[in-house]
Structure 1
Amino acid sequence: MAWFFVSVVVFMAGHIIPGVLRRPITARIGSRAYIAAFSVVSLFLLGWVIYEVQHADFIALWPYEIWQSHVTLTFMLPACILWAAAILQPCPLSIGRKIGFDLDHPGINRFTRHPLLLGMMLWGLGHILPNGDLVAFMFFGGSVIFAIAGFARMEKIRAKHMDEAEYKAILAGTRRFDLAGIVHGAFGWRDVMLGIVLYGAILWAHPYVIGVDPLGAMGG
């Protein structure tokens, strides 16, 4: 279990330190190179954490029931659609594309400024129930907290790179979370279609990458 905590500390450091040093790093290597390097390192560190979760001592908290896997699959579809929206639509105050945002047509930002983080929160919540051991609970529960904390943190980071008037206008015209945004053009057909493709790809790859078949776990 000790290596799990080590991997989590390194993972957190791998996000905090580059954020603090973003200006000098981007000044030296450029914004695109920074984003690419940060993404690769983040994925590597996340993979390390997942590996440690899978190999940590098993300390049961509650028994597994088939219905718990149904919860996971239900949560994952909207999570995938949110991730698709984060890829396809500009998110000026969060993780994702900064350019191309139109305040008159905020799109996903009318529902949430942070589709990638909200999707991560749903992913974490959806995986807690079928993984009823201590380390998995800390990992997925911690991911939920990390995602929620990221809402305000990302807004502060993005605020540093825009003038106050622009920042306040975007804040006023967007929402951290507002269900009404769903009926006000937050999602387009491309978001839904790409989300479904991501969902299918994750279901297919999960047994090979994680070692657990989600459909098999629910008797599918």
Structure 2
Amino acid sequence: MTVLILGLVLFLGAHSVRIFADGWRTRTIARIGEKAWKGLYSLVSLAGFALIVWGFSLARQQPVLLWSPPMGLKHLNALFTLLAFVFLAAAYVPRNQIKARLHHPMVLGVKLWAFGHLLSTGTLAGVVLFGAFLLWAVLDFRAARQRDRALGTVYPSGTLAGTLGAVVVGVVAWAAFAFWLHAAWIGIAPLGRTL
């Protein structure tokens, strides 16, 4: 569990700088340059992510079961994850109504993904991993909305084509992950048998 927690501290810590130290971030970028900042940020994030993956796989070898989730929560998680993939796509597909209305769909997608997995796993490692991501997403969304208000950020209105594009990309990515990649990369087939 130590490796998982260290990975979460590194990864979510790097992604929390704008929540807790936005002024320091701005001053540091001015001092060392944007490329150096992005390089350092990327290295810390990748190291944290690698530790999260390794730590979670270690914790899964000797799981500590906190509760046994009913099958209905696993199905609900599949729905939440589908919506999360659509929200993730909406963060990148230009001119869609989802981003126009929600402003930060990727963070909302992380919230749905983390909440669904938190409900449907029932292990201590799952609570640590998905609970940490859920808490981070709640705080990040709040901070991002506060920045938007302070800066007067206006999001462009979406188009039907952009919205449909975000939905299609999200659904296709979700299907690929749910039916193939999740099992190949993580060893758990969420809509089938476990490897």
User: Which bracket does the TM-score occupy, shorter chain normalised?
Assistant: 0.7 to 0.9
Q: Is the 8 A contact 1:80 1:196 kept in 2?
A: yes
Change in 2 beyond 3 A, CA 1:22/1:198: farther
Change in 2 beyond 3 A, CA 1:187/1:39: farther
1:21 is aligned to 2:11 = no
The structural deviation recorded for 1:185 is: 6.3
Q: Is the 8 A contact 1:107 1:186 kept in 2?
A: no
Matching residue of 2:173:
198
The structural deviation recorded for 1:107 is: 3.3
Counterpart-to-counterpart distance in 2, 1:186 and 1:126? 29
Q: In structure 1, list runs of 5 or more residues that go unmatched.
A: 91-105, 175-180
Count of residues paired in the alignment: 187
SS in 1 for 2:192: helix
The Cα offsets for residues 39-83 of structure 1, whole Å up to 9 and x where unpaired, read as 564244224213212312522111244333212211111111110
The structural deviation recorded for 1:116 is: 0.4
Matching residue of 2:163:
188
What are the residue-to-residue correspondences of 1:113-124 with 2, within 5 Å?
Answer: 113-124=103-114
What are the residue-to-residue correspondences of 1:135-154 with 2, within 5 Å?
Answer: 135-154=125-144
Matching residue of 2:68:
63
| TM-score normalised by structure 1 residue count | 0.69
Counterpart-to-counterpart distance in 1, 2:161 and 2:133? 25
| TM-score normalised by structure 2 residue count | 0.76
Q: Is the 8 A contact 1:110 1:186 kept in 2?
A: no
Q: Is the 8 A contact 1:69 1:217 kept in 2?
A: no
The structural deviation recorded for 1:10 is: 2.3
Question: C-alpha root-mean-square deviation of aligned residues, in Å?
Answer: 3.4
Change in 2 beyond 3 A, CA 1:120/1:40: farther
Change in 2 beyond 3 A, CA 1:17/1:111: closer
Matching residue of 1:95:
none
Pairing partner for 1:88 from 81, 85, 93: 93
Matching residue of 1:112:
102
The Cα offsets for residues 101-121 of structure 1, whole Å up to 9 and x where unpaired, read as xxxxx8334421210000000
The structural deviation recorded for 1:135 is: 2.0
SS in 1 for 2:188: coil
Letter in 1 for 2:191: L
Letter in 2 for 1:145: L
Q: Is the 8 A contact 2:88 2:106 kept in 1?
A: yes
What are the residue-to-residue correspondences of 1:166-181 with 2, within 5 Å?
Answer: 167-168=151-152, 170=154
Pairing partner for 1:45 from 10, 26, 48: 48
Counterpart-to-counterpart distance in 1, 2:16 and 2:7? 14
